Amino acid sequence: MPPPSHVVDTFLECTRAISSGELIRRESRRDKEFHFQDWFEARLKATGVHFDKSGRNAYPDFVLVEFQEGFEVKGLAWPGREATFDSNSQVPCGYHNGRNVYYIFGRYPAEEEGDEYPVVDLVVCHGDFLNADYEYVHENKSFRGFGGYGDIMIRDRKMYVVPTPFALTAGTTGQQTLILPADVSADPRLELVGELVRVEKDKLVAAYTFDLRTNTLKPEHMPNPEAGKPHHFRAYRPKGSNGPAVSLKTATAGDPRQPS
């Protein structure tokens, strides 16, 4: 039997709050993502679940106590940068430190001048939808010896730029959508609105080198032992809601999914 899950309750509370006009409230001009994170924290509290809130740069942002789940929150200004997001502390994945990880993407008006504004649309997705690799472990490394005096340290502090579900899918704009692995049992409170399949690529990036003389970055590849493996997902909305079907977009030139 799969472990008990709270993600559907969390998603439905988010959709209820959006339908009820419960606004994002910006308490101050602090870090740009925190106002949406605060809105989501209020939704978690409304469900009655117990959770721990992680510190800055910890992963994920919220860890549930009674359930083997965590939530990573990404607020996106719209219109604006919405095709990709930065991940500084961890490569996205669906399983971390013994817990399933779900990503909460909420878009809000970019040009809103006041301190209250609505959630335009929402996607809650399992981390596997963003990345299927569990093997890589993020670490920051450094070495000393750079510069004319040889006493400057270079830090290899990696940032991962990841496509958002809004870039990957059609039919999610203006909607509230939940994307789960296909093997997760259906919930009677939800209706199926899309079958999505992501397929692993032929090659994996195994290493990279940076030439300080020419400022060039060069990736090194290795065969992907899971090449061609499909990963199946299902998209849901609350039962009785209206909206278009959800499907994967076809990758095109310049698409954030394509290697540069």
String of DSSP letters for 206-241: EEEEEETTTTEEEEEEEE-TTTT-EEEEEEEEETT-
String of DSSP letters for 155-172: EE---EEEE-HHHHEES-
| pLDDT at residue 228 greater than cutoff 50 | yes
pLDDT-based confidence at residue 115 (cuts at 50, 70, 90): confident
pTM over 0.85: yes
| pLDDT at residue 86 greater than cutoff 60 | yes
Contact assessment for residue 168 and residue 177, using Cβ atoms and an 8 Å cutoff: no
Contact assessment for residue 158 and residue 208, using Cβ atoms and an 8 Å cutoff: no
pLDDT digits (tens, 9 = 90+) for 20-50: 999 988 776 555 557 899 999 999 999 999 9
pLDDT digits (tens, 9 = 90+) for 135-166: 888 888 999 999 988 999 999 888 899 999 99
Write down the pLDDT at residue 29: 59
Residue 212 carries which side chain, given as an amino acid letter?
L
Contact assessment for residue 216 and residue 260, using Cβ atoms and an 8 Å cutoff: no
User: What Rg do the C-alpha atoms of the chain give, in angstroms?
Assistant: 20
- Tokens 């993407």 belong to which residue? 105
Contact assessment for residue 178 and residue 5, using Cβ atoms and an 8 Å cutoff: no
Write down the pLDDT at residue 260: 44
In DSSP terms, 162 is beta-bridged to: 85
Most confident of 27-36, 78-87, 212-221: 212-221
Cα 249 from Cα 196, distance rounded (Å): 10
| pLDDT at residue 200 greater than cutoff 90 | yes
pLDDT-based confidence at residue 254 (cuts at 50, 70, 90): low
